[in-house]
Chains A and B, each alone.
Chain A
Amino acid sequence: MTSTPAVEDIVGSEYEHGFTTEIESDTLPPGLDEDVVRAISARKGEPEFMTEWRLKAYRHWLTMTPPNWADVDHPPIDFQAISYYSAPKRPEDGPKSLDEVDPALLETYEKLGIPIEEQKALAGVAVDAVFDSVSVATTFRETLAEAGVIFCSISEAVHAYPELVKQYLGSVVPHTDNYFACLNAAVFSDGTFVYIPEGVRCPMELSTYFRINARNTGQFERTLIVAEAGSYVSYLEGCTAPQRDENQLHAAVVELIALDDAEIKYSTVQNWYPGDAQGRGGIYNFVTKRGDCRGARSKISWTQVETGSAITWKYPSCLLRGEDAVGEFYSVAVTKGRQQADTGTKMIHIGPNTRSTIVSKGISAGEGRQTYRGLVRIGQRAANARNHTQCDSLLIGDRCTANTVPYIEVKHPSANMEHEATTSKISDDQLFYCRARGLSEEDAVSMIVNGFCKEVFNELPMEFAVEAQKLLSISLEGAVG
């Protein structure tokens, strides 16, 4: 399978280092106090209201304790050992050439069909000539501007559109929401702001890749997407290629707001470094994602393919407030080696005639631990609410774990909700059938697993779907046999 150019674009789209040449060398020393929060705000030249907003969050954060209910194990995080602001890294900090990069990583790039220059970028190797992303991105920006779509970094938005930021930032995930969201509110480095004006169908799928001034915002990223009445946007986050990253703790916040008849489609492919065979050094991915279907007939759809990170702690949720609002959650999560994932969704039905669909596919191999944790709440005003939940787990190997923890709270008699969950392994019959038709064991497993995940892959934008399938096959290589 050869990659299309669009795939290549996406593959190179994350927060890789050394992508731009204007490098400010500026890093705050590790530690966190009010001065650090002020310093971050000052460095970004933020107006007074933002500084206050951050400080309020920081003060609240001091009163909170880290959550311990998730089924994940990790040593306590020393929040004073983290540096909360670092400008992009100097290129010379990275490996000098591909020879210094972990050969396993290179092999994976090879299999994904990533061109050599891009491999260097992804691995953090200093490159001087970057392929022509800047010009591509500029063309895209022009098209977006014509449509009236605002697509810029949060820092830029704070200056250029303070009213919008003031109105929406923190309105879906308030700083009081949870420990990591609160920390993010205090120290977030940067992120993406998208605003789709009324009635506009965003002319292209948006990805951070096209936002040329977004670099190294990985650690405490903040995304805010506002879709005005009748608008539509599809947003892609992440990248299928495994990435090198210096920051172990990632605590991002994503807020989506859909007004009347608006639709937001948010797709994620997450493949952060999962750590070595013993699980050391992998990324902690503690993310708060929530969409607010404020308007009538609005729709928010989350699709995620989670294959990376040592620990994933993430529950993309929908608040279905508007009448007839629709929430969707499609997820494939893979844990292997010592990876742990506690992920799921919350569908909060508030308005009447709201509908939600949850399809979660968990694949656990090796010593992977995986939990689906979900909440479906049907409130007292949510007449005729409808939910269908399906969580399936596939176990590969006898040392892995798959848990399902659904919470269902129904307060309206006209609610219709169904929850189904199954757990199974790849059966010998299925394997034998494929093997008898001449497929190798690995191809057979890959085919069965892709079939298992098909419902979710169907929801991904085309290029992403192709990549995700490939990624899955690679992730599970050697898991059976």
Chain B
Amino acid sequence: MSGELATWLGAATPNGSPAWLEAWRTSARERATALGVPGSKQEAWRYTNPRRLFEQAFDEGAAVLAAEALAPLLVEGLEADRVVLVNGRYAPEHGRLGALPEGVRIDSLARLLAEDPEAVRPHLGALADDPAALFPALNAAGGADGLVVLLAPGARLERPLELLHVTTGERPTLAQPRHLIVLGEGAEARLVERYVGAEPSIAHATNAVLEIDLAAEARLDHERIQHDSAESFHLSTLYLHQQARSRYQGLNIGLGGRWARTDINTRFAGPGAECVLHGLYLSGDGQLIDYHLDVDHAVPDCTSVELFKGILYGQGRAVFDGRVFVAQDAQRTDAAMSNRNLMLSERAEIDTKPQLEINADDVKCSHGTTVGQIDPQMLFYLRARGIPEASARRMLCLGFAEEIIGRLGDEALRAEIAALVGDRLEAAPLD
């Protein structure tokens, strides 16, 4: 079993690492080896077979990207500070960071581990604690770098921070970045996280882990755009921990990858916190887009909203597996989960499983799912006004997506995503 995991488990910790780091990596390595490759009998993997991922050989890949290769990957007009990671490694030469305000630290995980390990020690692996999760364990064992954002209480990022992750190389590479985002009491930030591939035809793999810790009254707007190259594998696991009255607003756009799986685990640790998760995914030929949400209302008086919308065409497949858990005594919980899918082709498939687990009685919880197609009446309306059928269908699909795209934080990003979705629909066989 460990043979197929070897690339993922990575090399041993470099000499001179602190003992706690070594111990942490070793235990992750052992856990991953013991877990092995999951099969479809495991509930979390019911609709996805990751075996293919492990049959492929990956290089570690160099953290090198030519400046001219970066330019086309940028979003025009996006007003943001920028941090770039290439194949999972921090690439400061591509970054663009202005003077950071007091109490803000933005740095490479590898550098901090080497130079100031105590700064990250309390946060590294603190939230990614699911003993049954294979990919976070692989990331812990094999990953070496990532982004660290530490905001002291009351600190505020003036401009949004863009985290751009690029996979590149002539041979398939494996990137395992780990990002730590820690906001002190009342701190505020906006993070735009983008995953892109430099070469469309190479099956790179990304296995990212994010640990986000929001102290009381902290506020994070988080936009995540997964636009990896068409052949690639994208995995990302987000662990979110929210203290009292903190607010997290997450927006997930899933466009790229042959197989893209995103796990989002959120846990409320103090009352009055709010978590909003929106999502839009497009799954076309041979793609599998896979979202798993686990929202844990461990304490009373918290609010969560999840709305994910999907468009499926060609032989696209999508999985939506959402779970809202309300602990005993988590009274006055307000949770609403919704998953809506637009299915455009005979060979597409959607598997959706919105679960509620409720152990308290004074709660307001609901979930809804729909799967449908374009309303023929709407289509007729547009056709009657002289719009060709294919264009009319595209318009309606874009309208369906607009509810999510419109929530993106700025105009440049909205235009970029609307164009990407438009292009994809343009190429889709919408008949």
- B370, A409: Cβ atoms closer than 8 Å: no
Alpha-carbon distance between A297 and B381 when the two chains are bound, in angstroms: 33
- A420, B366: Cβ atoms closer than 8 Å: yes
- A406, B369: Cβ atoms closer than 8 Å: yes
Q: Which residues of A contact B349 (CB under 8 A)?
A: 409-411
Q: Which residues of B contact A409 (CB under 8 A)?
A: 349-352
Decide if B411 is an interface residue (CB 8 Å cutoff).
no
Binary B-proximity of A411-437 (CB < 8 A = 1, otherwise 0): 111111111111111000000000000
Alpha-carbon distance between A366 and B367 when the two chains are bound, in angstroms: 24
Q: Which residue of A is nearest B318, CB measured?
A: A410
Alpha-carbon distance between A400 and B358 when the two chains are bound, in angstroms: 8
- A405, B355: Cβ atoms closer than 8 Å: yes
How far in angstroms is the closest Cβ of chain A from B287?
Answer: 15
- B369, A418: Cβ atoms closer than 8 Å: yes
Decide if B30 is an interface residue (CB 8 Å cutoff).
no
Decide if B410 is an interface residue (CB 8 Å cutoff).
no
Contact partner of A396 (CB less than 8 A), chosen from B343, B351, B361, is B361
Decide if B354 is an interface residue (CB 8 Å cutoff).
yes
Contact partner of B351 (CB less than 8 A), chosen from A393, A399, A408, A412, is A408
How far in angstroms is the closest Cβ of chain B from A148?
Answer: 43
Binary B-proximity of A333-363 (CB < 8 A = 1, otherwise 0): 0000000000000000000000000000000
Decide if B2 is an interface residue (CB 8 Å cutoff).
no
How far in angstroms is the closest Cβ of chain B from A99?
Answer: 40
- B356, A397: Cβ atoms closer than 8 Å: no
Q: A398-B329, A403-B355, A410-B341 are in contact. Are A419 and B370 (CB under 8 A)?
A: yes
Contact partner of A408 (CB less than 8 A), chosen from B331, B346, B350, is B350
Q: Which residues of B contact A424 (CB under 8 A)?
A: 363-364
Q: Which residues of B contact A395 (CB under 8 A)?
A: 358, 360-361, 363
Alpha-carbon distance between A409 and B354 when the two chains are bound, in angstroms: 12
How far in angstroms is the closest Cβ of chain A from B294?
Answer: 14
Decide if A401 is an interface residue (CB 8 Å cutoff).
yes
- B368, A416: Cβ atoms closer than 8 Å: no
Decide if B17 is an interface residue (CB 8 Å cutoff).
no
Decide if B191 is an interface residue (CB 8 Å cutoff).
no
- B343, A398: Cβ atoms closer than 8 Å: no
- A423, B353: Cβ atoms closer than 8 Å: no
- B371, A410: Cβ atoms closer than 8 Å: yes
- B372, A416: Cβ atoms closer than 8 Å: yes
Binary B-proximity of A144-173 (CB < 8 A = 1, otherwise 0): 000000000000000000000000000000
Binary B-proximity of A263-283 (CB < 8 A = 1, otherwise 0): 000000000000000000000
Q: A404-B367, A410-B341, A416-B371 are in contact. Are A421 and B351 (CB under 8 A)?
A: no
- A397, B368: Cβ atoms closer than 8 Å: no
How far in angstroms is the closest Cβ of chain A from B164?
Answer: 35
- B343, A413: Cβ atoms closer than 8 Å: yes
Alpha-carbon distance between A393 and B350 when the two chains are bound, in angstroms: 26
- B346, A412: Cβ atoms closer than 8 Å: yes
Decide if A131 is an interface residue (CB 8 Å cutoff).
no
How far in angstroms is the closest Cβ of chain A from B218?
Answer: 29
Binary A-proximity of B302-334 (CB < 8 A = 1, otherwise 0): 000000000000000000000000001101000
Q: Which residues of A contact B368 (CB under 8 A)?
A: 418-421
Decide if A402 is an interface residue (CB 8 Å cutoff).
yes
A interface residues, how many (CB within 8 angstroms) = 35
Binary A-proximity of B43-77 (CB < 8 A = 1, otherwise 0): 10000000000000000000000000000000000
Alpha-carbon distance between A393 and B354 when the two chains are bound, in angstroms: 15
- A401, B358: Cβ atoms closer than 8 Å: yes
Binary A-proximity of B99-118 (CB < 8 A = 1, otherwise 0): 00000000000000000000
Q: Which residues of B contact A417 (CB under 8 A)?
A: 369-372
Q: A398-B329, A412-B346 are in contact. Are A403 and B358 (CB under 8 A)?
A: yes
Decide if A380 is an interface residue (CB 8 Å cutoff).
yes
Q: Which residue of A is nearest B363, CB measured?
A: A423
Decide if A407 is an interface residue (CB 8 Å cutoff).
yes
Q: Which residue of A is nearest B343, CB measured?
A: A413
Contact partner of A423 (CB less than 8 A), chosen from B346, B366, B372, is B366
Alpha-carbon distance between A401 and B355 when the two chains are bound, in angstroms: 13
Alpha-carbon distance between A378 and B352 when the two chains are bound, in angstroms: 12
Q: Which residues of B contact A415 (CB under 8 A)?
A: 343, 371-373
Decide if B348 is an interface residue (CB 8 Å cutoff).
yes
Decide if B7 is an interface residue (CB 8 Å cutoff).
no
Q: Which residues of B contact A406 (CB under 8 A)?
A: 353-355, 369
Q: Which residue of B is nearest A418, CB measured?
A: B370
Contact partner of B353 (CB less than 8 A), chosen from A380, A399, A408, A410, is A408
- B365, A422: Cβ atoms closer than 8 Å: yes
- B369, A419: Cβ atoms closer than 8 Å: yes
Decide if B13 is an interface residue (CB 8 Å cutoff).
no
Contact partner of B361 (CB less than 8 A), chosen from A411, A416, A425, is A425
Decide if B158 is an interface residue (CB 8 Å cutoff).
no
Q: Which residue of B is nearest A426, CB measured?
A: B361
Decide if B345 is an interface residue (CB 8 Å cutoff).
yes
Decide if B362 is an interface residue (CB 8 Å cutoff).
yes
Binary B-proximity of A376-405 (CB < 8 A = 1, otherwise 0): 001010000000000001011111111111
Q: Which residue of B is nearest A404, CB measured?
A: B356
- A413, B344: Cβ atoms closer than 8 Å: yes
Q: A401-B358, A402-B358, A403-B355 are in contact. Are A408 and B369 (CB under 8 A)?
A: yes
Going nearest first, the 4 A-B pairs with the smallest beta carbon separation are A395-B361, A419-B369, A404-B356, A413-B343
By a beta-carbon cutoff of 8 Å, the part of chain A in contact with chain B is 69, 378, 380, 393, 395-425
24 residue pairs from A and B, CB less than 8 Å apart: A395-B358, A395-B363, A398-B329, A398-B360, A398-B361, A398-B362, A401-B358, A402-B356, A403-B356, A406-B355, A410-B351, A410-B352, A413-B345, A413-B348, A414-B373, A415-B371, A416-B371, A417-B370, A418-B368, A419-B367, A421-B356, A422-B365, A423-B358, A423-B366
Known: A412-B346, A419-B368. 8 other contacts (CB 8 A): A398-B360, A403-B357, A404-B355, A405-B355, A407-B353, A408-B352, A409-B349, A419-B370
